[in-house]
Structure 1
Amino acid sequence: MGTRLQGKVAIITGGAAGIGEAISKRFALEGAAVVVAGLPDDPVREVVDEIKASGGQAVGYLGDLSSWKLAQECVKLAVDEFGKLDILINNAGVFIETNYLTDYSEEAFDYMIRHNTKTTFLMSKAALPELQKTHGNIVTAGSEAGVLGIPQNTPYGGTKAFNIAFTKGLAAEQAAFGVRCNVVGPGPIDTAWTHKETGPMDAKMEKTNNQAVLTGRRGTPEEVANVYLFLASDEASYVTGALYMVDGGITIAKGPAGDQADSFFKKQPKEDLKLQHSMDGHTSIRE
C-alpha cells in the first residue's frame, strides 16, 4: 500500500471497467477511500470486493450519472460513507460506433452526448460544493480524438473536445475556490474499445491505430491510471487547467511511425494491479 492519496476520498465514474478499474485500484492502493461508480450492469460489486480483499476502502454506486438526481446521490454517498470528498474522476464514457458522418446514427450520437458530456457536467456540478470545502480537484477524461479529430469517430471526438474545453474553463473559474481541474487525454489503450472483437473498430482501424503510435502498441489501463494518480495527488499542486496526453506520441506522429518503433517501446510494462475488467466497457447502446 502506498501513501500518495492517504486520507483522500475519491469518486471514480466508470470506475469498474477498462481504464476506470485501473484508476479505482491504483487510488485505493495509494490510500484513498474510493466510490466506484458505474451503470447497473457494470462489474462494480466485483471491483469493490477486489479492492477490499487487497486491504483498501471502497463502496460501489450503481446508477446512470447523466441524471441530476443520481449525480447528487453519488456525491452524497461519498460524504455519508467517508465524511468528505477530495477528488472527482470524470472517467465515465462510451465509444459505440465508428462510421462516416453521413451514416452515423442519431441514436449513437445522443447516447454519447448523454454519457460522455452530460455526466461530466452533472457530476462536476454536484461535486463542486464538497470539493470547495476540501480544496480538492477534478480530473476528467479527454482523448486524442478530442485534440486531433479522427475520421469515422467525429462525434466521439466532439464529446471529448467538449470535456477538454469544459475542464479548462472550470479550472479558470474554480481557482477562486481552491479547486484544481485537469484533463487526461488517452490514445489507443488496450481495452475493449480498441479491439475489433469487442468494440466498434474494424480490423483496418485497429491496425492503423497501432501503426500511428510512436511506441508501436496500445497503452495499458495502468499506464493511464498512473497519470490520473499524479494529477489527483498533492504532487500536482501547481497543475491546473492542463491537458496531459497519455497517447504513446500519436498526436505528434507522422505516418505509420509505430512500424519503426524500437522493440523496447513495443513491449507493455509489467503491471501490478491485477486488473480483471479491462475488456469490459460500453461498446454498444445499453440503457
Structure 2
Amino acid sequence: MKRRLEGKVAIVTGGGSGIGEAISKRFAAEGAAVVVCGLDSDPVRKVVDEILQSGGRAVGYLGDVSVEEQAEDCVQLAIDDFGKLDVLVNNAGVFPATAELDKYPVEAFEYMIKNNIYTTFMMTRAALPFLQKTQGNIVSAGSEAGQMGSPMITPYGGTKAWVMSFSKGLAVEQAKYGVRVNCVGPGPIDTAWTHKETGPMDSKMEKNTVNGVPMGRRGTPEEVANVYLFLASDEASYVTGATYFVDGGVTLSKSLPGEEVPSHLKQQPSPSLPLKHGKDGHAEIRQEVAGTMNHGL
C-alpha cells in the first residue's frame, strides 16, 4: 500500500518538539522527506536523527524564521537537499504567559506576534513560488482559542485568529495556482503548554482546561499530527480554506462536561510514534528570538 506522502517534500516549522515532533515523524513515516525547522535550543537534531534511524528522510534547519532571510534560507534548504517543496506546515508558535489583559506582559505579546504571526507570514511568502510549481499545500496551526477566544490568554487567541483568517484569504488567492491552504485547530494537547510544571498555566487553569473538554482528557500530539497528515495528503484534494479542530469537542462546549466522563474513557491512546520531546515545547521567552518588533526592519 502506497504511503500517503510518498515522494513529497515537507517543511515543518517548530518541528523539534510537541505537536511539531509528531508531525515531522508522521510525515516521514508516510514517505515524505522532511525539513525539521526549529530554534538552536530545540531538539531538532535529535528528531532528525530519530527519523533517519527509523529509515526516513530528514534534514534539520536551525534558525529564526520570523526573519525574512532565514525563512528564505529554510525554504532553499528544502530545494537544495530534496529538489522541490510540496507541503509547508506552519506549526511554529509560542505560549509564554497567562494573565488578565491589564497585567499581561507587553514583552510576551510582542514575542507572540513575532513567533506566531511573523513566522507564518515569512515562511508562507518564501514558500509560495515553489508550492505553485508543485501545486502543493500549506497547513498552519490555528487553535480553539483562535475560534472562541480564551480568558487569561486573550492575546494568544488573537494571534491564532490571525493565522486562521490569513489562511482563509490565502486559500482563495492561491486556488488559481492549485495551492491548497488549510488550518488545524488543536484544543488542549498533552504538551509542555498544558501542564503547570512545564508551561505558564497555574493548577486551576490546568484543571479547568482539561475539564472543559467533552472527551475528558488532553489530546495527544499524534492525534493532531494525523489531521495534519490528511490535510497535507492528496486525500484532501478538494479541501481548502478549512479549519479542522482537533479539540475533543471543546469549541462546542460551554461548561465542564469532562468531569462527567468515566475514567476508562479519559485514557489516552497508546502511541505508535517514538515521540520523545513532547514536553520540550516553546513555553517561555527565549532570548535568542526575543526583542522588539523592529528587528531587521
TM-score range, shorter chain: over 0.9
Q: Which runs of structure 2 are paired with 1:12-23 in the superposition (5 Å)?
A: 12-23=12-23
2:32 corresponds to which residue? 32
1:246 corresponds to which residue? 246
Q: Which runs of 5+ in 2 are unaligned?
A: 289-297
Q: Percent identity?
A: 68
2:98 corresponds to which residue? 98
When normalised by structure 2's length, the TM-score is: 0.95
1:49 corresponds to which residue? 49
For residue 262 of structure 1, report the CA deviation from its aligned partner: 3.9
Deviations 1:90-119 (A, max 9, x none): 000000000010001110000000000010
Deviations 1:1-49 (A, max 9, x none): 9610000000000000000000000000000000000011100000000
2:107 corresponds to which residue? 107
2:294 corresponds to which residue? none
Alignment-mate amino acid for residue 115 of structure 1: N
Deviations 1:190-232 (A, max 9, x none): 0000000000000000000111001100000000000000000
1:177 corresponds to which residue? 177
Change over 3 Å in CA distance of 1:273–1:2 after alignment to 2: farther
Alignment-mate amino acid for residue 152 of structure 2: Q
Alignment-mate amino acid for residue 85 of structure 1: L
SS at match of 1:6: coil
Deviations 1:114-157 (A, max 9, x none): 00001000000000000000000000000000001000100000
Conserved? CA contact 1:2–1:29, under 8 Å? no
SS at match of 1:28: helix
Conserved? CA contact 1:215–1:262, under 8 Å? no
SS at match of 2:99: coil
Conserved? CA contact 1:4–1:31, under 8 Å? yes
CA distance in 1, matches of 2:260, 2:233: 35
For residue 263 of structure 1, report the CA deviation from its aligned partner: 3.8
2:134 corresponds to which residue? 134
For residue 264 of structure 1, report the CA deviation from its aligned partner: 4.6
CA distance in 1, matches of 2:54, 2:22: 14
Conserved? CA contact 1:132–1:179, under 8 Å? yes
Q: Which runs of structure 2 are paired with 1:134-153 in the superposition (5 Å)?
A: 134-153=134-153
After TM superposition, where is structure 1 displaced by more than 6 Å over at least 4 residues in a row? none
SS at match of 1:24: helix
2:220 corresponds to which residue? 220
Q: Which runs of structure 2 are paired with 1:163-242 in the superposition (5 Å)?
A: 163-242=163-242
For residue 254 of structure 1, report the CA deviation from its aligned partner: 2.8
When normalised by structure 1's length, the TM-score is: 0.99
CA distance in 2, matches of 1:59, 1:257: 43
How many residues are paired up? 287
Q: Which runs of 5+ in 1 are unaligned?
A: none
